[in-house]
Every structure is written in structure tokens, then in C-alpha cells.
């Protein structure tokens, strides 16, 4: 157990739907990062939150959004889902922006 908890582990949904992925960082970690991993794209950085504030954005689609709550857990919202959104979604946490990144075990999203 890495200490980073992601739920759900698996999600199957239809095109056009909206889903929410949840991430609880390790105790004491203020930063949460979201990554998308698909077979043809590798691990792609989506977005970073630090203590509730957005710090950096990567290749995140407008249909996707995220937030970090006062208790530091984060949610990634994916809407108007398309088949191409099927992927593994990982979150990672760290105290700050250092090497201490710890990844969760991911949420596997399948859009049918």
C-alpha cells in the first residue's frame, strides 16, 4: 500500500456520460498530481494541485476538470466521455514538488 488511495479501481461507463475519480493523498502531502496512461500515449500529466490551489496544467481536455478539497483529497471529473478517454488514471502525491512522488494504484476507466 503506497498510502495514496484511488477509487474506484475500475469504472465502465457509456459514451457521453460523466464520471468522478477520487484520490486521497498520503498523510501530510499537500500536492496532488493527476496523470492519464493510455497504451499509445504513455503517462501524460493532466493537472497539479497544491493545498487546494491549481498550480500547473498539462494536456487536460476542457471536458475534464479537477479540484482539491480542504481535506486535501482531490477529484478528477471527466464529462462527455468518448471512447478515447478509456485509460488508466493515476494520481500521485508529494509534500511539495520534490522527488517524493508516490503514486496510487490507479482507476481503470473503460468507455463503451
Partner 1 sequence: GESVGLHLPTLSVQEGDNSIINCAYSNSASDYFIWYKQESGKGPQFIIDIRSNMDKRQGQRVTVLLNKTVKHLSLQIAATQPGDSAVYFCAEIFYNQGGKLIFGQGTELSVKP
Say if CB 27 and CB 81 are below 8 A apart: no
101 binds partner 1 (CB under 8 A): yes
Output 50 or 64, the one with its CB closest to partner 1.
Answer: 50
The two most distant CA atoms of the chain are separated, in Å, by 38
The stretch among 15-23, 64-72, 76-84, 90-98 that binds partner 1 (CB under 8 A) is 90-98
Distance CA 77, CA 84 (A): 16
Residue 11 C-beta: closest distance to partner 1, Å: 15
The stretch among 17-25, 60-68, 69-77, 101-109 that binds partner 1 (CB under 8 A) is 101-109
64 binds partner 1 (CB under 8 A): no
45 binds partner 1 (CB under 8 A): yes
Beta-carbon contacts of residue 107 (< 8 Å; ≥ 6 apart): 6, 7, 8, 9, 10, 11, 21, 88, 89, 90
Residue 103 C-beta: closest distance to partner 1, Å: 3
98 DSSP assignment: S
Amino acid at each position: 500500500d503506497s498510502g495514496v488511495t484511488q477509487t474506484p479501481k475500475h469504472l465502465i461507463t457509456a459514451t457521453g456520460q460523466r464520471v468522478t475519480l477520487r484520490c486521497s493523498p498520503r498523510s501530510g502531502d499537500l500536492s496532488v498530481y493527476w496523470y492519464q496512461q493510455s497504451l499509445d500515449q504513455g503517462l501524460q500529466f493532466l493537472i497539479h494541485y497544491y493545498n487546494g490551489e491549481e498550480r500547473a496544467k498539462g494536456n487536460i481536455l476542457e471536458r475534464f476538470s479537477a479540484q482539491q478539497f480542504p481535506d486535501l483529497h482531490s477529484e478528477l471529473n471527466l464529462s462527455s466521455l468518448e471512447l478515447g478517454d478509456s485509460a488508466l488514471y493515476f494520481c500521485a502525491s508529494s509534500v511539495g514538488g520534490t522527488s517524493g512522488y508516490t503514486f496510487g494504484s490507479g482507476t481503470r476507466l473503460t468507455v463503451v
